[in-house]
Amino acid sequence: MSQNLAFADYAIFIVYFIVVASYGYSVFRKRKKEEQDAKGYFLAEGNLTWWAIGASLIASNISAEQFIGMSGEGFFLGIAVAAYEWLAAVALIIVAVWFIPVYLKNKIYTMPQFLKMRYNESTALIMAVFWLFLYVFVNLTSILYLGAVAIDGLAGGGYLHIIMVCLSIFALFISLGGMKVVAYTDVIQVAVLIIGGLVTSYIALTTVGKAFGVGENAIAGFNVLMEQAPEHFKMIIPRPTPTSTQLEIDKYLTFPGLLSYAAGIWIINLNYWGCNQYITQRALGADLQTARTGILFAGFLKLLMPLIVMLPGIAAFVLYKEGQLPQLVGGKDGAYSAILTFLPTGFKGLSVAALTAAIVASLASKVNSISTIYTLDVHKKYIQKNASEKQQVNIGRIAVFGAMLLAVLFTWNDVLGIGGTGGFTYIQKYTGFISPGVFAMFVLGMFWKRTTGTAAIVGVILGFLLSVLFNEYAPALFGNETLIYTAYPNGKGGFEIPFHICMGLSFFFTTLTMVLISLTGPKVNPKAFELDSEMFKVKPQTMVMIVITLLAIAGLYVKFW
């Protein structure tokens, strides 16, 4: 079956584009009538509803690397990869209850601002520059490149640069209007994303049912998946034994069973959802109850994400194993595109619209965060200290355009080698090394009044160095079996420690070092935040949302343990 799109597919996609663009323009026009100010532009301060915050969080989070990468991990690992999504819902509860009150009470608008207020200006500037480079040359470039490659493949190939430019222009159109336009268009984007994703999953299940002679029925197709690939429906991957195959070892290296839950996956989620300008920016302009409700709503939506981005990968695995998926190209990362070939005319256009929605929402959110950090934490503080509100907004728009232009230039001929590494791996590789140190710096800064600025700087540097040590050099230096880790053969002639375990070890030793350094300082750091128990109390309706989310996750783990 050809992957090329028919007229009906293009028509559906064009309708999607017109609806999002028109709605974004209407929000922009309304906003122009309001008072123009920097915080209104960058944060939509006081203007976002809880459902806009929640939808925008999900739209910003889900992009091509999830559709392509997580479907690929579903093909390879199975349901175990759903832990990233389901435990993200728990992480969002923690952020809503304990992190957001600290940010809002202290009027934190950017993550570098948090570091300046809690530690010192040097720490804030170092991290502001680091985040700008990370967001532009890792996140923005990989989202744009991987997204363009995915859509180009679905369109039949040969349009990579045209698609790249179109995605950039679409994202610019949305992001130049500021956070309010980004957030409210994200509501449409996430609706398209979920509907298109569910349609793809439904077609995948009915295709499996038809291929195995149980009828074109989604439930029957799901039962076939569980019968044909029972190992793909286990949340906990067993630890390798001396008789384990290399495939079994590779799965454990990717997701090391219970040890993943000891530290690694929590560091990934809490750092991403609680210490990341790209994400937290949506809630920083709202009041506490609105922010909490929006974040918890995003947690509800996260429970659906494995159904959308992982299940097609498992379906592709079962079909491929039975010789029913000859169109699979590129190994596990080709699983999602291979499943899309089964979609009838029209539905392909809807799925491409869903994928585009995910890519554009992520691009727009990322450049908005880049412009916020650059304008408020770099330009206004060190270049143009007396910039007016209007000038700050204009500077932010120039930063948006500049960031997107850099992304296009560096992805045009894949200067950074994203295609060779793989977009999902590329992002994990460069963000995962810094996560333990950044998370230690934030969590100690929030909740331990003794943490010092010196400890923070040492923590960020040490966290990175330890991540490199454990991931790249520890087995060769200290051996494959020690008291704190076990390294396994990676099938490439070397040994590796599972990535999640490396993160946990880096976080532990970084935190320990920061604590020891801080103990040499005053018992209460003068810059410590004032905390009180009232900040962390939740309303009954909030508690109901939390309990429902936790019960749903518990049920899923009981079912698929």
How confident is the model over 230-262, as pLDDT tens digits?
999 999 989 998 888 998 898 898 889 888 888
User: Is the confidence at residue 444, as pLDDT, over 90?
Assistant: yes
Give the pLDDT mean for 31-57: 70
User: Is the confidence at residue 326, as pLDDT, over 70?
Assistant: yes
The pLDDT score that the predictor gives to residue 141 is 86
Give the pLDDT mean for 135-163: 81
Which pLDDT band, with edges at 50, 70 and 90, does 46 fall under? low
Which pLDDT band, with edges at 50, 70 and 90, does 35 fall under? very low
Residues 65 and 149: beta-carbon distance below 8 Å = no
Lowest-pLDDT range of 26-30, 225-229, 531-535: 26-30
Instruction: Find residue 489's DSSP bridge partners.
Output: 495
The pLDDT score that the predictor gives to residue 151 is 80
Half-sphere exposure of 182 (CA within 13 A, CB side): 35
3-class SS of residue 232? helix
Contact residues for 296 (Cβ-Cβ < 8 A; gap 6+): 54, 92, 93, 96, 542, 545, 546, 549
User: Is the confidence at residue 81, as pLDDT, over 90?
Assistant: no
Lowest-pLDDT range of 33-42, 76-85, 306-315, 500-509: 33-42
How confident is the model over 508-526, as pLDDT tens digits?
999 999 999 999 989 999 9
Phi/psi of residue 243, each to 5°? Answer: -100, 5
Phi/psi of residue 486, each to 5°? Answer: -130, 130
Residues 9 and 147: beta-carbon distance below 8 Å = no
More confident residue, 184 or 304: 304
The encoded tokens of residue 92 equal: 């969002």
For the chain, state the CA radius of gyration.
23
Q: CA-CA distance, 168 to 162, in Å (whole number)?
A: 10
The pLDDT score that the predictor gives to residue 1 is 37
Residues 148 and 67: beta-carbon distance below 8 Å = no
How confident is the model over 333-364, as pLDDT tens digits?
778 878 888 888 878 787 778 778 778 878 88
The encoded tokens of residue 419 equal: 């295609």
Residues 255 and 77: beta-carbon distance below 8 Å = yes
Give the pLDDT mean for 407-433: 70
Give the pLDDT mean for 86-102: 94
The pLDDT score that the predictor gives to residue 347 is 80
Quick count: other Cβ atoms within 10 Å of Cβ 11?
Answer: 13
Q: CA-CA distance, 70 to 194, in Å (whole number)?
A: 15
Q: CA-CA distance, 23 to 174, in Å (whole number)?
A: 10
How confident is the model over 268-294, as pLDDT tens digits?
899 989 988 877 877 887 889 999 999
User: Is the confidence at residue 438, as pLDDT, over 80?
Assistant: yes
| Average pLDDT along the chain | 85
Q: CA-CA distance, 115 to 126, in Å (whole number)?
A: 10
User: Is the confidence at residue 330, as pLDDT, over 70?
Assistant: no
The pLDDT score that the predictor gives to residue 452 is 94
Half-sphere exposure of 168 (CA within 13 A, CB side): 24
Give the pLDDT mean for 535-557: 94
Contact residues for 157 (Cβ-Cβ < 8 A; gap 6+): none
Domain spanning 14-240+282-413: which superfamily? Sodium/glucose cotransporter (1.20.1730.10)
User: Is the confidence at residue 112, as pLDDT, over 80?
Assistant: yes
The CA-based diameter of the chain, rounded to the nearest angstrom, is: 72
Q: CA-CA distance, 279 to 361, in Å (whole number)?
A: 12
- The CA-to-CA distance between both ends of the chain, in Å, stands at 37
Q: Where are the domains of the chain?
A: 14-240+282-413
Which pLDDT band, with edges at 50, 70 and 90, does 117 fall under? very high
Q: What percent of the chain has pLDDT over 90?
A: 32
